[in-house]
Amino acid sequence: MNLSLIDYGTGNLFSVRRALEVCGANIKVIHHPSEAKNSDRLVVPGVGAFGSCITELHRLHFNEAIAEHIATGRPFLGICVGMQMLMTTSYEFGQHSGLNLIPGIVTEIPNRTDAGEVRKRPHIGWTSLSESQPWTKTMLSQTTKDDRFYFVHSFSVIPDNPAHILATTDYDGYEIVAAVKRDNILGTQFHPEKSGPAGLTILKQFLSL
């Protein structure tokens, strides 16, 4: 299992690399799009602001490598901002175009609940997932309703097509899209590499798809 992990200069790849390694992948951290060719799996992590992440991804021409990989039918995983970049448009500090691989938007989590109480941002913490469509044969096939995952974000995705939502989580009464799936294009808002054994289980399933 050859897995390419895209390094486009934003944040630390240490944990993602190590977590995937523990799950049995043969990891190549890549700095150039040509290195992505013939990978069994492609993973894009992402930490920080959407605008700077997508700018760097384009500047280094990784957008083309991602599209090529997806066209082969092999699984792709975007984590956190790596998943948000799959959308059409992000409204984080202005307006930015995403990769448009899953039509939809990235918007700020509302900072008030329906009752008018404060909903803190960033959303930081561990929550469980709800099934939006059957998880069998997906990367969540071994995930249970009691498993908890680590989230840290202020923005979240809203896919145009509800069929692209794999799982959601509740944050003070606001439904957050926690995982997306469009054929072989996968994404998680939470950090599987920071979610203990339950997170590693998801990465293992991603490798065995």
Partner 1 sequence: MRDVRVIARLDIKSPNLIKGIRLEGLRKLGDPQPFVESYYAQGIDEICYMDIVASLYDRNSLEDLLRKTAENIFVPLTVGGGIRTVENAATLLQSGADKVAINTAAIRNPDLIRQISERFGSQCMVLSIEAKSTTLGKWTAFTDNGREHTNRDVIEWVQEAVELGVGEILLTSVDQEGTQKGFDLELCRAVTNVVEVPVILSGGLGSLDDAKVAVSHGKADAIAVAHALHYNKFTVAQLKNAVKGAQSESAA
Instruction: Please report, as ranges, the residues that interact with partner 1 according to CB under 8 A.
Output: 11-12, 14-15, 18-19, 22, 47-49, 111, 118, 120-122, 124-127, 150, 152-154, 170, 172, 191, 193-197, 199-200
Q: Which is nearer to partner 1, 44 or 70 (CB)?
A: 44
- Name the nearest CA neighbour of 206 among 51, 76, 36: 76
Q: Which is nearer to partner 1, 71 or 118 (CB)?
A: 118
Q: Please, what is the minimum distance in Å from the beta carbon of residue 79 to partner 1? A: 13
Q: Which is nearer to partner 1, 28 or 120 (CB)?
A: 120
Query: Which residues, other chains included, contact 199 with Cβ-Cβ below 8 Å and sequence gap of 6+?
Result: 19, 149, 150, 190, 191, 192, 193
Q: Please, what is the minimum distance in Å from the beta carbon of residue 113 to partner 1? A: 11
- Name the nearest CA neighbour of 203 among 157, 153, 132, 143: 143
Strand-strand pairing, 148-153 and 165-171: unpaired
Contact call for residues 188 and 179 (beta carbons, < 8 A)? yes
Q: Please, what is the minimum distance in Å from the beta carbon of residue 40 to partner 1? A: 22
How far is the C-alpha of 84 from the C-alpha of 50, rounded, in Å? 8
How far is the C-alpha of 3 from the C-alpha of 1, rounded, in Å? 6
Q: Which is nearer to partner 1, 111 or 130 (CB)?
A: 111
Which active-site residues does the annotation give?
Answer: 80, 191, 193
Q: Please, what is the minimum distance in Å from the beta carbon of residue 194 to partner 1? A: 5
What is the strand order of the sheet 185-188 is part of? 26-30, 2-6, 41-44, 76-79, 185-188, 174-182, 165-171, 130-131
Neighbouring-strand partners of residue 43: 5, 77
Q: Please, what is the minimum distance in Å from the beta carbon of residue 14 to partner 1? A: 5
H helix or E strand, kind and range, residue 20:
helix 14-22
Q: Which is nearer to partner 1, 7 or 65 (CB)?
A: 7
